[in-house]
Amino acid sequence: MKMILLDRVTKTYQRNPHAALERISLHVDPKEFVIVVGSSGAGKSTLLKLLTREEKPTAGKIIVGGIDYDKLRDREIPLLRRKIGVVFQDFKLLPGKTVFENVAFALEIVGMSNREINHTVPRVLDIVGLQGKEKRMPMELSGGERQRVAIARAVVRQPKILIADEPTGNLDPKHAWDVIRVLEKINRYGTTVLLTTHNQDIVNRLKRRVITVKDGKIVSDRANAEYKL
Ligand code: ADP
């Protein structure tokens, strides 16, 4: 089974005649680590939004984690969201909550007991290297630490896929690499990772599969690829 399958997917937005994505086909295996690159406006965000079901395709087939999006009902979308964790460039943490509470929140909303939450949150904070920082507020953390809180929150329900959309965009190189190492660790634990980045150094040193999107099309898809602007 493929973890992600797109078959000739086209996305055209309203009031924009130019297709954001045009007949894109893509297969991603379970446990793969895939980097998506492309200049601004190429279609990367649209691709990610189709996967999270924030947007629906105009044409084509999408199957993620065995879920055929054509058969997906609205009430099943929360189930899909549990299979896909997402982190963003701007972290999107709850500023009035501690590190622990930010991560715990993702479990509270699915009805997990306090006992289980108290057991689970420290384990995931440990994985992202934030043990001992449970009581800090987001403002009291570095950007790299904030992003690692966001990653902890995204993976605490053990999604099959982690989508990281420019997670290092606001970080200096040292903190960027801390975040990338955490993504690699989560991938080693068995989660499929989809990363978008403009950071050439990260792409070149990770030596992973690189998919290049340009003008709504996949123009290259290579293993161990380097990235030239
Ligand atoms: P990227 O993430 O690579 O910068 P996007 O997926 O955001 O690219 O955009 C791809 C194309 O789709 C661009 O031409 C953009 O202007 C257009 N686009 C994106 N979102 C919308 C929208 N909501 N409505 C109309 N056009 C959009």
CB-count exposure of residue 123 (10 Å: 0-12, 13-18, 19+): exposed
Q: Which two tokens stand for residue 67?
A: 């879920």
| Predicted pLDDT at 214 | 97
Render each residue's pLDDT in the chain as its tens digit; 229 residues: 899 999 999 999 999 999 999 999 999 999 999 999 999 999 999 999 999 999 999 999 999 999 999 999 989 988 898 899 999 999 999 999 999 999 999 999 999 999 999 999 999 999 999 999 999 999 999 999 999 999 999 999 999 999 999 999 999 999 999 999 999 999 999 999 999 999 999 999 999 999 999 999 999 999 977 766 5
| Predicted pLDDT at 218 | 98
Q: Which two tokens stand for residue 212?
A: 């290049």
Q: Is 101 helix (H, G, I), strand (E, B) or coil?
A: helix
φ/ψ of 115, rounded to 5, equals -60, -45
| Predicted pLDDT at 38 | 95
Instruction: Say how many residues make up the chain.
Output: 229
- 197 C-beta closer than 6 A to ligand 1: no
- 45 C-beta closer than 6 A to ligand 1: yes
- In this structure, which residue's CA is closest to atom 22 in ligand 1? 13
- In this structure, which residue's CA is closest to atom 25 in ligand 1? 13
- 20 C-beta closer than 6 A to ligand 1: yes
Where helices occur in the chain by DSSP H, the ranges are 44-51, 77-83, 99-108, 114-127, 143-155, 173-188, 200-206
- Amino acid found at 47: L
- 24 C-beta closer than 6 A to ligand 1: no
| Predicted pLDDT at 88 | 95
* Separation CA 119–CA 122 (nearest Å): 6
- 13 C-beta closer than 6 A to ligand 1: yes
- Do 118 and 109 touch, CB atoms closer than 8 A? no
Element (H, E) at 216: none
**Nearest atom within ligand 1 for CA of residue 15:** 25
CB atoms within 10 A of CB 176: 21
Angle in degrees, CA 161, 166, 168, rounded to 5: 110
- 224 C-beta closer than 6 A to ligand 1: no
Q: Ligand 1: distance of its center to the CA of 202 in Å? A: 24
* Separation CA 69–CA 80 (nearest Å): 10
* Separation CA 119–CA 208 (nearest Å): 34
Q: Which two tokens stand for residue 26?
A: 């893509």
- 43 C-beta closer than 6 A to ligand 1: yes
**Nearest atom within ligand 1 for CA of residue 216:** 10
- In this structure, which residue's CA is closest to atom 6 in ligand 1? 43
Domains and their CATH numbers in the chain: 4-92+159-222 (3.40.50.300)
- Amino acid found at 22: E
- 41 C-beta closer than 6 A to ligand 1: yes
pTM of the model: 0.95
- 11 C-beta closer than 6 A to ligand 1: no
What's the CA dihedral at 119, 125, 130, 131 to 10 degrees? 20
**Nearest atom within ligand 1 for CA of residue 49:** 6
